[in-house]
């Protein structure tokens, strides 16, 4: 149904069933023209391209993202090459020579997890990690931990990278203290699961990027900065000063909009690609809801197929949860060991089925470029 958008990536992988969209989503054909357009614009405008980017392409991307999230201030969105840059910039808002209590989960992606562990070696960081499982009680346990430990910094995912489980942010976020810096890593829900961010836009940071479900490729990560944020990242670059370059004072100036959290010179190719994807779906009236429904129908038919497949039926009872209301765009199965998991990923790959794993869990992802017919062909 949507395969026509991906003719180039599909042609390059005719002997592959690509079930890793949750990691490396195929790019629609329109991104290729967008990439070339970036080159042409750079050639045509040379030095003047920057003012064009900041007045045209950046606001377009901000507008698209703001529409997806239903937020009212697109100018609060700022871009960086990866989410790690924002993680570090957020940490740099705190005085790490003093005690900093961080509340998080045991299931955050390495860009946060590894950096946090490392900072804890040489600072006064105290890390409280709430296990995501059992999922049914996570919201209650997370909120209780926030009341008990009174953290200054809270960081949690919306859909967890090691399970695909979508936590009930609606039950958690309103109960967190307004005095805490709160960040949601939504990389696995952005442009996958429709979600209205407007109830939280006043005081919660939203972090994501375009490499996965947004399909714009790497290089276009973004942070939504709540308006009137008083934070002053010490890890700052000159883009934050863009509106104030003529200033003669020595004071380090921070703008009120998202640029407050900006770094420095970026390759904007990825914004061009992301805009092209948004324009494509807007033109063809393919909504996020349509995409989500389509992916869920693929997931359901994959599970049915798996039941009858000598190749995969041993995974039948290994699905770590199944609740379509709380499900991201990949299915996760838990095996007995890391070795068994890696060996399954490798043997599937030899047979043309691309998946990936995290510890002893194998993940099957569902991109718009798959069809039920593919499962008939591949899942024997």
Q: Mark the segment that binds ligand PLP (CB under 6 A) among 182-190, 245-253, 269-277, 334-342.
A: 182-190
Is residue 224 close enough to count as binding ligand PLP by CB under 6 A?
no
Rounded-to-5 percentages of helix, strand, coil across the chain: 45, 15, 40
Q: Which residue has the tokens 């994959």?
A: 302
Report yes or no: 130 and 145 within 8 Å, Cβ to Cβ. Answer: yes
Q: How far is the CB of 83 from ligand PLP (least distance, A)?
A: 4
Is residue 84 close enough to count as binding ligand PLP by CB under 6 A?
yes
What DSSP string describes 8-52?
A: HHHHTTTT-EE--HHHHPPPPTHHHHHHHHHHHHHHHHGGGHHHH
Q: How far is the CB of 216 from ligand PLP (least distance, A)?
A: 13
The C-alpha atoms of residue 76 and residue 88 are separated, in whole angstroms, by 18
Is residue 356 close enough to count as binding ligand PLP by CB under 6 A?
no
- Which residues, including other chains, have CB under 8 Å from residue 187's CB and lie 6 or more apart? 83, 109, 157, 161, 207, 208, 209, 212
Q: Mark the segment that binds ligand PLP (CB under 6 A) among 81-89, 97-105, 313-321, 346-354.
A: 81-89
Residues that contact ligand PLP, how many (by CB under 6 A): 12
CA angle 274, 280, 284 (to 5 degrees): 150
Position among 82, 92, 123, 124 found at the interface with ligand PLP (CB under 6 A)? 82
Q: Which residue lies nearer to ligand PLP by CB, 61 or 111?
A: 111
Q: How far is the CB of 202 from ligand PLP (least distance, A)?
A: 23
Q: Which residues pair with 79 in a beta bridge?
A: 222
Q: How far is the CB of 306 from ligand PLP (least distance, A)?
A: 24
Q: Which residue lies nearer to ligand PLP by CB, 187 or 261?
A: 187
Is residue 209 close enough to count as binding ligand PLP by CB under 6 A?
yes
Q: How far is the CB of 355 from ligand PLP (least distance, A)?
A: 14
Q: Which residue has the tokens 């296990």?
A: 131
Q: Which residue lies nearer to ligand PLP by CB, 83 or 163?
A: 83
Is residue 374 close enough to count as binding ligand PLP by CB under 6 A?
no
Is residue 358 close enough to count as binding ligand PLP by CB under 6 A?
no
CB atoms within 10 A of CB 325: 7
3-state secondary structure of 108: coil
Is residue 187 close enough to count as binding ligand PLP by CB under 6 A?
yes
Q: Mark the segment that binds ligand PLP (CB under 6 A) among 57-65, 184-192, 227-235, 328-336.
A: 184-192
Distance of CA 112 to the CA centre of its chain: 12
Position among 125, 169, 221, 306 found at the interface with ligand PLP (CB under 6 A)? 221
Q: Is the four-CA dihedral 299, 304, 307, 309 of positive or negative sign?
A: negative
Is residue 272 close enough to count as binding ligand PLP by CB under 6 A?
no
3-state secondary structure of 334: strand
Position among 113, 185, 201, 356 found at the interface with ligand PLP (CB under 6 A)? 185
The C-alpha atoms of residue 181 and residue 183 are separated, in whole angstroms, by 7
Q: Mark the segment that binds ligand PLP (CB under 6 A) among 43-51, 183-191, 244-252, 314-322.
A: 183-191
Report yes or no: 179 and 129 within 8 Å, Cβ to Cβ. Answer: no
Is residue 161 close enough to count as binding ligand PLP by CB under 6 A?
yes
Q: How far is the CB of 114 from ligand PLP (least distance, A)?
A: 10
Q: Which residue lies nearer to ligand PLP by CB, 88 or 379?
A: 88
The C-alpha atoms of residue 62 and residue 79 are separated, in whole angstroms, by 9
Give, as ranges, the residues between 228 and 267 that touch ligand PLP (CB under 6 A): none
The C-alpha atoms of residue 172 and residue 104 are separated, in whole angstroms, by 13
Q: How far is the CB of 94 from ligand PLP (least distance, A)?
A: 19
Cite the beta strand spans of the chain per DSSP E. 17-18, 77-80, 100-105, 125-130, 153-157, 181-185, 204-209, 221-224, 330-334, 353-354, 356-358, 361-365
Give, as ranges, the residues between 90 and 119 that touch ligand PLP (CB under 6 A): 109, 111
Residues that bind ligand PLP (CB under 6 A): 82-84, 109, 111, 157, 161, 185, 187-188, 209, 221
């Amino acid at each position: 149904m949507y395969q026509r958008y991906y003719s180039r990536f599909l042609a390059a992988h005719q002997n592959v069933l690509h079930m890793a969209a949750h990691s490396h989503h195929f790019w629609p054909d329109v991104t290729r023209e967008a990439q070339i357009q970036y080159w042409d614009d750079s050639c045509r405008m040379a030095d003047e391209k920057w003012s064009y980017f900041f007045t045209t392409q950046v606001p377009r991307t901000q507008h698209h993202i703001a529409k997806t999230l239903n937020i009212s201030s697109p100018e609060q969105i700022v871009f960086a090459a990866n989410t790690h840059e924002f993680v570090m910039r957020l940490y740099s808002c705190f005085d790490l020579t003093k005690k900093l209590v961080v509340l998080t989960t045991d299931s955050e992606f390495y860009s946060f997890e590894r950096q946090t562990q490392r900072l804890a070696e040489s600072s006064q960081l105290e890390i409280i990690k709430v296990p995501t499982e059992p999922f049914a009680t996570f919201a209650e346990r997370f909120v209780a931990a926030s009341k008990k430990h009174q953290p200054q910094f809270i960081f949690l995912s919306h859909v967890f990278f090691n399970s695909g489980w979508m936590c009930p942010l609606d039950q958690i976020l309103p109960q967190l203290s307004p005095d805490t810096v709160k960040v949601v890593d939504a990389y696995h829900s952005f442009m996958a699961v429709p979600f209205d961010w407007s109830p939280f836009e006043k005081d919660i940071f939203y972090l994501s990027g375009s490499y996965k479900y947004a399909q714009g490729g790497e290089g276009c990560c973004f942070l939504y900065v709540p308006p009137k944020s008083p934070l002053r990242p010490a890890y700052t670059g000159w883009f934050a000063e863009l509106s104030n370059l003529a200033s003669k004072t020595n004071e380090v100036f921070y703008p009120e909009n998202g640029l407050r959290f900006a770094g420095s010179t970026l390759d904007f190719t990825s914004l061009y690609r992301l805009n092209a994807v948004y324009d494509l779906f807007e033109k063809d009236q393919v909504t996020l809801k349509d995409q989500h429904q389509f992916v869920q129908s693929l997931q359901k038919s994959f599970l049915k197929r798996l039941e009858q497949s000598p190749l995969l039926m041993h995974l039948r009872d290994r699905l770590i949860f199944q609740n379509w209301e709380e499900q991201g765009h990949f299915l996760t199965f838990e095996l007995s060991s890391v070795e068994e998991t890696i060996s399954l990923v490798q043997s599937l790959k030899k047979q043309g089925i691309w998946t990936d794993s995290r510890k002893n869990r194998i993940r099957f992802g569902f991109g718009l470029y798959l069809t039920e017919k593919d499962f008939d062909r591949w899942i024997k």
